[in-house]
Amino acid sequence: MSSDAAANNSPGEALFVPAHAQFEISDEEFAQISHTLLLKRGFNLNAYKDRCVRRRIAIRIRANHCQTVKEYCTLLLSQKDELDQLLKVLTIHVSQFFRNFATFEKLRREIIPRLFAAARQNGAAELRFCSLGCASGEEPYTLALILAEHFAREMQSIPVSIAAADVDATTLEQAKRGVFSQERMQEMPADYLQGYFSASGAGYQLAPEIMAMVNFSLGDMFDNLLYRDCDLLLCRNVLIYFSREQQEKIFRNIAGVLGRHGFLVLGKSETILGESRALFQTVCPVERMYRRHDAGEC
């Protein structure tokens, strides 16, 4: 959300604060905002990159025409809607179906077939897929579309469950409605659009059978992750909001829940750094795909 967009949502006739105004947020004020978000929304503000966070808080301070950070802290404690607005600014999402199309082609052609083959060989009862930071659902629904279109026969004997989580309750509600605008369809292949969507006002309604394949839940990257023994875990374009220290903590969590033959997929601008590199082996550097360091053949 841009500062202009945020300002359009701001209430009241308060004094105008110039867009270029700078707000120095003291450690005490930052701690108060952080505590409020954690208490009211379960959002771990301290995990995020400090400079980025403070810049986005300033967006909401200007949007509400507050003269001081202290004034904004008071507003935040008294207005539930402003908590939601701040959370949206802190968790900006750019989401569309088949985002980075080559990544999903790699999954369809190579990774998912390998997972089904390993499941058959090991007698697994199901496959478990997970999307972290799923926003309004385009990513997990893309997985569901690929499975329905290309792996229906395999799923008759080895069902696939898809879990998806995000910190923003509003975007999760959008995901559950399954209605998407044209701009979210820019990379959507025509056969998927024709086969699994119907016109709905100015957008498209996703088929109920595809929506039923995904289970959405509210949670951040530091909650207990959704699955143990996860076979495919997508965590794309999420780590950019976290400090390096917190990224390493996330990678340790992921390594703990990723199955022996499971795959991790990151965003194109993300990579595994520091000591966390010892936890994973690279499968495809171009598409940012990894496995656990102790993964066997599959």
Report the alpha-carbon distance of residue 12 to residue 16 in Å, rounded. Answer: 11
Question: Are residues 265 and 128 both part of a single domain?
Answer: yes
Q: Is residue 297 part of a domain?
A: no
Give percent of the chain above pLDDT 70.
84
Length of the chain equals 298
How many structural domains comprise the chain? 2
Give percent of the chain above pLDDT 90.
49
Question: Are residues 126 and 257 both part of a single domain?
Answer: yes
Q: Is residue 95 part of a domain?
A: no
Task: Report the 10 Å Cβ neighbour count for 183.
Answer: 8
Note the pTM of the prediction, 2 decimals. Answer: 0.75
Question: Are residues 132 and 271 both part of a single domain?
Answer: yes
Q: Is residue 36 part of a domain?
A: yes
Question: Are residues 236 and 112 both part of a single domain?
Answer: yes
Question: Are residues 215 and 261 both part of a single domain?
Answer: yes
What is the model's pLDDT at position 244? 80
Q: Is residue 273 part of a domain?
A: yes
Summarize pLDDT for 247-266 with one digit per residue, the tens: 888 899 899 889 988 999 99
Q: Is residue 298 part of a domain?
A: no
What is the model's pLDDT at position 205? 97
Of the given ranges (114-118, 131-135, 137-141), which has the lowest mean pLDDT?
A: 131-135
Summarize pLDDT for 179-215 with one digit per residue, the tens: 999 989 989 999 999 999 999 888 999 999 999 999 9
- Would you say residue 95 has pLDDT above 60? yes
Give the structural domain span for 44. Answer: 3-90
